[in-house]
Amino acid sequence: MKKLFGQNDWFFFMKNSSIRANAIFILSLSLISIVVGFWVNWVVGLIMIIFAVVGCWVALHQLHQLQNDTETYINDLTYQVERGQQEALLEMPIGMIMMDDHDVIKWINPYMSHYFKMELVVGRPLMKVDSKLAKLVDEHRHDNDSTIVSWKHRRFQFLIQDRYHVIYLMDVTEFDNIKARYRNERVFIGEVYLDNYVELVQGMSDSDASNLHNYVTSELSKWAKVNHLMLKVIDDDNYLLVGYQYSLDSLEKKKFKVLDVIRNNTSKQNSPVTLSVGIAYGENDLTKLANTAQHNLDLALGRGGDQVVVRAENGQARFYGGKTNPMEKRTRVRARMISQAMQELMAQADQVFVIGHKNPDMDAMGACLGVHRIAEMNNHECWIVLDQEQVHSDIARLMLEINKYQDISDHIITPEEAAKKATSKSLLVMVDHSKPSISISPKLCEQLANRIMIIDHHRRGEEFPENPLLVYIEPYASSTCELITEMFEYQPRESESLNRLEATTMLTGIQVDTKSFTKQAGTRTFDAASYLRSAGADGLMIQRFMKENPDSFLDRNHLISTVQFINDKMALCAGEDDQTYDPVTAAQAADMLLQMSGVDASFVITQRADGVVGISARSMGDYNVQLVMEKMGGGGHLANAATQIKGKKVSEVKKELIDLLNDKGNGESSSNEANTTEE
């Protein structure tokens, strides 16, 4: 009893509310039992007193024992937790470094000491102990999350609690190696296509054609073996390529020089073979990989061939090659097939809309008039979409002539009117461009996204309508007007053909894009020009269209006077930040700069009236200005490209372009070829 109610335990139950409540309940029940007992009989009351005293003593003793056992358990548990924490701190496979406010090491755990080769580091500044680790601490001191770093030839998950001056390092080298191996061994699929093989072998004997095919296959097989790839022949001009990601990384570093090797060696035999390759990666589903590879090959062919397109599904495409001008095809079969397909699409539509790019030139307008005439010849209504408030001086003069032709002028509508007229059955023909963002009406392109046909002569870019009904992109052609002119041969004979104005406008478009038949003008270009002349194209009217006003003449000469030379072979002109120039003036200045001796490429940067900074780029063909413009968000041809940049000043764009031109990796000359298959 003394032990139960000692100095430290007297009324111990008062310490715990639950125990106290149970004790009060037992005492209350005992008192009630005693009172009831005495009320019945005094003997019963005495017995109840005895039972109550014994019961209370037992209950209090058990409660006291329970409290002691609980306190003992908690004390033991606390000791075990503290001991576990100490052992974990000392033995866990995570390095810890504690420092003071001045990055002086105060303590490290034993695991960390192995990385310092058991040297005494406590009390020394971290910079003197390990400068690389100190640099990592400075770089990641304010990071909210852990990061993976390299240190001591290992990979660590690195975390800093800057508030407490504690560094944590967990060795994840093995896991990182597994992750890297998984990435490196992911499969990629590629499709290789010989662009002009069919045309080349048409005029060859069987033995020569066989020798050419055997050479290309042998060269590709050696290249595949060196780079650990599997190559499978699918057809005479088609191959399947399968490999791992690490091989693809190596090929991208070497920039797929096999294209140059095969082209150079076959050119020596007067049978230049060019390759187009589409490669897809980053996907576990082989079916999706194959589909993406085919889309990438289509993109490479749409850009003119002789290049590689590498892209994951929904990813950013990377281009390699494309340094040569696309070769002209020898047959008109595709022109006939496209013409027939377009007639069928027009027959299925309730009306046709034809649209050019913003600030249309004569090629775009000539193409619009040509498509309008084809629709009329097939008895279909066609609307030409044009914003007449944003046209160049040559187009303004053209519009004055169009006003004399009621049947044409009545079918020229604004983008707003086109959006109201368009229905779900309408057909939209995009000419001289394939990017909806540079159309006169991007809204109309979005409205008729599933009813689009494209006719263009520029290399296809990444931005492209998702589901076009028909695509006719021929980068070898001089102009869109040339492509459309060829279609007139396959139209109904009994219908009214081109009138004088339409023929003149289309011939002007060809003349402008070929710089008066001096650039990219093949035999079919002259055939198209001959047809247009026979249809009534007027040379004097062309001269009137192309007349230049005095202000443009002076502006062009002013731009040329600002010329500066980059690497002695590239001429660059730039206007003022606060002065606007007509885009045609800038393009003409770029053309004139090429007439200077020793100039391989020219770039003219100007501020346009709409606040956008434009760059017109030209070259003689040895320097690929298209690659440069694509890196700045534009595109075009190898020798004729451009871009438009928003939100920057002319001076800022000029500095960006100069930095890009000074980069040795950009715009390689087509003469800079590789000579070994291993590359």
Residue range 524-537: average pLDDT?
Answer: 92
Query: Do 136 and 189 fall within a single domain?
Result: no
Give yes or no: residues 534 and 490 share one domain: yes
For residues 615 and 514, state if they share a domain: no
Q: Is the same domain home to 343 and 468?
A: yes
On whether residue 5 sits in a domain, the answer given is no
Average pLDDT over residues 600-625: 89
* 9 has a pLDDT exceeding 60: no
**Domain identity same for 371 and 279:** no
Q: Is 54 left (phi over 0), alpha (psi -120 to 50) or beta?
A: alpha
Query: Is 669 part of a structural domain of the chain?
Result: no
Whole-number pLDDT of residue 7: 44
Measure the CA–CA gap between 628 and 601, rounded to whole angstroms: 11
Residue 617 resides in a domain: yes
Token pair for 573? 């002109």
Residue 634, domain extent: 550-662
pLDDT tens by residue, 29-75: 778 877 877 787 777 778 777 877 777 777 767 767 776 777 777 77
Residues 309-349 pLDDT 10s: 898 877 778 888 876 655 555 456 678 878 888 888 898 89
Residues paired with 184 in a beta bridge = none
Sheet holding 412-413, edge to edge: 412-413, 382-385, 352-355, 427-431, 452-456, 470-473
pLDDT of the residue at 19 = 64
The residues with which 605 forms a beta bridge, in sequence order, are 574, 615
Please say whether the beta carbons of 244 and 273 come within 8 A.
no
Residue 409 falls inside a structural domain: yes
| Cβ atoms of residues 209 and 201 within 8 Å | yes
C-alpha–C-alpha distance, residues 431 and 448, integer Å: 15
pLDDT in tens, 248-269: 999 999 889 899 899 889 888 8
Determine the pLDDT at residue 429: 96
Q: Exposed e or buried b for every residue in 95-112, given b needs 16+ CB within 10 A? A: bbbebeeebbbeebbebb
Shared-domain flag, residues 262 and 115 = no
Residues 83 and 211 placed together within one structural domain of the fold: no
What is the band of 513 on the pLDDT scale with cuts at 50, 70, 90? confident
Dist CA 477 CA 296 (whole Å) = 22
- Predicted local distance difference test score (pLDDT) of residue 515: 82
What is the phi-psi region of residue 239: left when phi exceeds 0, alpha when psi lies from -120 to 50, beta otherwise?
Answer: beta
> What is the CATH number for 600?
3.10.310.30
User: The tokens of 629 are what?
Assistant: 């413009």
668 domain-assigned: no
Q: Is residue 566 part of a domain?
A: yes
CA atoms within 13 A on the CB side of 618: 25
Identify whether residues 527 and 434 lie together within a single domain.
yes
**Beta strands at 238-244 and 382-385: parallel, antiparallel or unpaired:** unpaired
Quick one: 103 and 62 in the same domain? no
pLDDT score of 1? 45
Residues 6 or more apart whose CB falls under 8 angstroms from that of 490 comprise: 335, 336, 339, 340
Token readout for 474 is 């021929």
Across the beta sheet with 635-636, what order do the strands follow?
A: 564-566, 570-574, 601-607, 613-619, 640-645, 635-636
The H-or-E segment that residue 512 falls in is helix 500-513
End-to-end CA distance of the chain: 98
Question: What element of type H or E holds 54?
Answer: helix 42-91
**What is the number of other CB atoms lying within 10 angstroms of the CB of residue 323?**
24
Cα angle 510, 514, 517; round to 5: 95
| DSSP class per residue in 371-440 | HHHHHHHTT--EEEE--TTS--HHHHHHHHHHTT-HHHHTTEE-HHHHHHH--TT-EEEEES---GGGBS
Please state, in angstroms and rounded to a whole number, the distance separating the CA atoms of residues 465 and 531: 32
Question: Can you give the CATH number for the domain in which 229 is found?
Answer: 3.30.70.1230
What are the CA-CA distances from residue 316 to residues 249, 353, 624 (Å)? 15, 31, 21
CATH number assigned to the domain comprising residue 156: 3.30.450.20
304 in Cβ contact with 286 (< 8 Å): no
Q: Are 5 and 12 in contact (CB under 8 A)?
A: no
Kindly indicate the confidence band of residue 89, based on its pLDDT and cuts at 50, 70 and 90: low
Q: What is the DSSP string of 291-353?
A: HHHHHHHHHHHHTTSSEEEE--TTS--EEEE--SPPPPPS--HHHHHHHHHHHHHHHHSS-EE
> CATH code at 472?
3.90.1640.10
pLDDT at 214 over 60: yes
The number of distinct structural domains making up the chain is: 5
What is the reported pLDDT for 357? 92
What 3-state DSSP class applies to 481?
helix
pLDDT for the residue 601: 92
Specify the pTM: 0.58
CA distance 256 to 258: 5
Tell me the three state secondary structure of residue 458. coil
Q: Are residue 385 and residue 301 in the same domain, yes or no? A: no
Q: Based on the domain organization, do 518 and 560 belong to the same domain?
A: no
The rounded mean pLDDT for the chain is 84
**Which 8-state DSSP code applies to residue 571?**
E
Q: How do beta strands 352-355 and 318-321 pair?
A: unpaired
Query: Which residue among 177, 200, 216 closes a domain?
Result: 177
Q: Cα(21)–Cα(37) distance, rounded to whole angstroms?
A: 24
If you search the block for the tokens 């029940």, which residue do you land on? Answer: 29
What is the DSSP secondary-structure string of 81-123? Answer: HHHHHHHHHHHSSSEEEEE-TT-BEEEE-HHHHGGGTT---TT
What is the structure's pLDDT at 31?
Answer: 80
Which range, of 6-15, 193-202, 263-272, 630-639, averages the lowest pLDDT?
Answer: 6-15
**What DSSP element (H or E) covers 231?**
strand 230-235
Name the pLDDT band for 95 (thresholds 50, 70, 90): confident
Is 667 inside a domain boundary? no
Are the CB atoms for 134 and 149 separated by under 8 Å? no
- Coil vs helix vs strand at 445: helix
423-446 confidence digits (pLDDT tens): 999 999 999 999 998 999 999 999
Which range of 9-13, 66-70, 149-153 scores highest in mean pLDDT? It is 149-153
Q: Specify the 3-state DSSP secondary structure of 509.
A: helix
Is the pLDDT reported for residue 670 higher than 80?
no
Under 8 Å between Cβ of 280 and 293: yes
Q: Kindly state the average pLDDT of the residues 401-419.
A: 93
Sheet holding 166-171: strands in order across? 105-108, 95-99, 166-171, 154-161, 147-151
Q: Is 670 part of any domain?
A: no
Closest CA relative to residue 548, chosen from 577, 587, 578, 519: 587
Instruction: Kindly list the distances between the CA atom of residue 21 and the CA atoms of 35, 176, 382, 561, in Å, as whole numbers in the listed order.
Output: 21, 59, 94, 101
Higher model confidence: residue 14 or residue 619? 619
Domain boundary among 519, 545, 571: 545
Separation CA 585–CA 580 (nearest Å): 11
The model's confidence at residue 87, banded by pLDDT at 50, 70 and 90, is low
Residue 236 has pLDDT above 90, yes or no: no
Q: What pLDDT, on the 0 to 100 scale, is given for residue 293?
A: 92
What is the widest separation between alpha-carbon atoms in the chain? 143
Same domain, 581 and 452: no
End-of-domain residue from the set 177, 193, 212: 177
CA 415 to mean position of chain CA atoms: 29
